[in-house]
Amino acid sequence: MDERVGVQERFSAPPADPDVVEQLAAKYSTWGRWGEHDEAGTLNEAGREQVGQAAALVRDGAVFSLSLNFDANGPQSGEFGRVNPIHTMLQDGGDILAGAQRHLNMEYTDDAVYMPLQCGTQWDALSHSFYRQKMYNGHGPERVTSAGAEKNSIDKVASRFVGRGVLADLPRYAGRPWLDPGEPITSEVLADCLAAQRVELRPGDFLMVRTGHLAAARARGAWGDYVGGSSPGLSVHAAPLLCETRVAAVAIDTWTTEVWPAEVPAIRTSVHVILLVHAGIHLGEMFDLDALAEACAVDGRFEFLFVAPALPITGAVGSPVNPLALR
């Protein structure tokens, strides 16, 4: 880290309006780059060579889960119709004690879970977001029916979330425990943070963006408005670095990827429009990056092998995930 750490630095972004969003979306669109039938987007940048190089980053065998627990104590409060996972037992110890399983030569337990696929740590599929009734590669809403997504569903890329992970620990860089709600993250901020960490972002990388928003919820001992409320996040002005570097995917520790309240009220999810819909960059949300950040700060290594396969749920527009960082 450089001498700026410890300085209470706060971030700002240039103004943005619908024209800026439209211009960035058009400039960084990858529609057709990998063919009209492509459903992977920038995951195409993380090929065998990148995976092999990432595997060499594992030195001491430390493994960090970047997932929240999937349980009734999760962050959801009903916003957008999402609830926390509901876990039920189909067979438990009481069934064993009652002798309800005499037809078997053993006893067992079984369980089930109901959950919205985007209620916790998760990937957005390229079919998750539309703009002007188009999702990635120009497909229309008729491609997502009550049976699921026919195009750009998460099962099409279930094996593709593997490669070099890079952490941008913004609170540590700024000398604060967490960024403020509503604080934007631009290309310049990301580039300066990575430079201070002495790590280079490369094509095919999986960028983890830590804002400390999850740490703030932990510190107050309650989720509060963690989901649906104001949060730090990516500015539309983060698009140049991410798209020109050709990252494979971006994940963050907030609920919506982008800064909230919305930078551009007329297009509230502007970052999704630019990155997910047009650039084809998969987005991960509610990633728990705190323990990983502590380990990276100790030895100054902010790169690692990243393994975060989506569940191959046919037709799904998102997937819960237990991402792993191996160092």
Does 5 or 273 have the greater pLDDT score? Answer: 273
Backbone angles phi, psi at 122, to 5 degrees: -160, 160
Q: Where are the domains of the chain?
A: 18-77+118-326, 87-114
- pLDDT tens-digit readout, 56-114: 999 999 999 999 999 999 999 998 899 999 999 999 999 999 988 877 788 999 999 99
Distances (CA, A) of 214 to 65, 139, 255: 15, 34, 9
* Rounded-to-integer distance, Cα 199 and Cα 309, Å: 24
Contacts of 116 (CB under 8 A, 6+ apart): 76, 81, 82, 83
Eight-state DSSP code of residue 241: H
Q: Pairing between strand 282-285 and 249-252?
A: parallel
Q: Is-contact 270 149, C-beta < 8 A?
A: no
Eight-state DSSP code of residue 76: -
The answer as to CATH 3.40.50.800 being correct for domain 18-77+118-326 is no
Identity at 306, one-letter amino acid code = F
- pLDDT tens-digit readout, 221-269: 999 999 999 999 999 999 999 999 999 999 999 999 999 999 999 999 9
Note the pLDDT of residue 5.
46
* Rounded-to-integer distance, Cα 32 and Cα 184, Å: 30
Residue 56 buriedness (CB in 10 A; 0-12 / 13-18 / 19+): exposed
Contacts of 56 (CB under 8 A, 6+ apart): none
Q: Which of 185, 186, 163, 165 is nearest to 292 (CA)?
A: 165
